[in-house]
Every structure is written in structure tokens, then in C-alpha cells.
Amino acid sequence: MLKKVNIEEKFALFKTHWDPKIIGELNNQQVKLVKFNGEFVWHKHDNEDEFFLTIHGNFDMHLRDQIITINEGEFIIIPRGIEHKPVAKQEVQVLLFEPESVVNTGDTRSHLIKLNPARI
């Protein structure tokens, strides 16, 4: 049975940061919601691109040679192999679209790793 997804309601189901939640799947890709607050870790994904869409708030995507601010309603695609580090000065809500093989910390092992994101 098909059903619609209310993103705001899904964000209300969790309070944790840097803890992606799966809300949908299509063509071996996952749609995830995550809340950022503070700094993540430097990392890259050797085999996958990532899509970050800011739903509420804004954050800075740190790259080795620049910092790009992603405001509400904007998105950025990080191509595979590019080192990056999201940084949020306050809580921000982000929708991710990425292959199911993506590990949130990429090539970096950290206490922030989430190997099996929950489905909500």
C-alpha cells in the first residue's frame, strides 16, 4: 500500500544528532533524515555521492579548500572521494539521499558511526 510521508512528523520522532533515520528507499538509494548540531568528522566516501537538503536551519559544509553555507531550502551534492565535514552552529534538519551502502562516517571510524540506521 502506498502512503505519503510527512517530513515534519518524522523529525519529531527523534532528538539525537548525527544519527540518520531511514524514511524511504528507491532504486537501492535511501532517503534519510538527520539532525546536525556541532561538528561531524572529516571523511569521504570512495564509492558513493551524497545529497544533503536543508529542511530547517543552515549548516556549513567544510571542504579542504572552502566552506559552503547550505541554507534552508538549499542542497549540496558531495561527489565520491571528496573529503567533507558538516558543521552546524545550532540544530539543523537535513534530508539525505544516498546509496544504501553509505556509512555515515565514510572512511573514518569514529564514535559517531551508525552502521544500521533505524527506519522510522
Question: Which domains are seen in the chain, by residue range?
Answer: 7-14+21-119 (2.60.120.10)
* Helix, strand, or coil (residue 37): strand
Q: Is the pLDDT of residue 17 over 90?
A: yes
> Which residues partner with 63 through β-bridges?
66, 84
Beta-strand ranges (E) seen in 4-119 are 21-26, 29-39, 50-56, 59-63, 66-70, 75-78, 84-99, 118-119
Between these two residues, 57 and 114, which has the higher pLDDT value? Answer: 57
pTM: 0.90
pLDDT tens digit string along 41-93? 999 999 999 999 999 999 999 999 999 999 999 999 999 999 999 999 999 99
Residue 45 identity: H
Q: What percentage of the chain carries pLDDT values higher than 70?
A: 97
Q: Is the pLDDT of residue 105 over 70?
A: no
pLDDT at 109: 76
